[in-house]
Amino acid sequence: MAETQRLSQAAYDRLVAEHKDLSTRGRIDIADKIEVARLMGDLKENGDYHAAKEEQGKMEGRITMLAGIIENSEIIGDSDDGTVQPGSVVEIRYEGDIDTERLLFGSIEEQRDGLDICSPGSPLGQALEGATPGSTVTFAAPNGAVLEVEVVTVEA
């Protein structure tokens, strides 16, 4: 069974639109590129043909991946209860640091410009989920070190 993706409504809508675009316009465009490349002659040594076929393979992979995400997604409603949840922008401060760091908590598909992603499945993400501003969470880093992080702010 595929893993459930917890997405905000905006991310879900964006993925559905991308899937529709790639499944329609994208497939037509790549078929046109392949046809033009075929008309250039010998397919064995035709770089345009091979590049178009490679692009087609990558696009079909993305279409399949998007279909899986869409089928196995759970829409997380926008909640302004101040807890860390998918789609939240979290400002954190590591123990001993003065500076803070802003992260987008959620799937890579939630990505927004200028923000690093903190996956709910990562050690930090598991510790942060459900936390509120002012709370401190601890987690084990991949190298085995135990780190402490203060949640400074949470934005829906």
Alpha helix (H) residue ranges in the chain: 9-21, 27-38, 47-71, 123-128
Domain locations in the chain as residue ranges: 5-76, 88-155
Report the distance separating Cα 55 and Cα 33, nearest Å. Answer: 10
| Consecutive 10-residue averages of pLDDT for the chain (156 residues) | 76 93 95 88 80 94 94 78 84 91 86 84 90 92 90 88
At position 123, the amino acid (one-letter code) is P
Task: Provide the pLDDT for residue 23.
Answer: 96
pTM of the full structure: 0.74
CATH 3.10.50.30 fits 88-155, yes or no: yes
Whether 5-76 and 88-155 share one fold: the answer is no
Task: Provide the pLDDT for residue 79.
Answer: 62
The highest-level CATH class for domain 5-76 is: mainly alpha
The token pair that represents 39 in the structure block: 């008309």
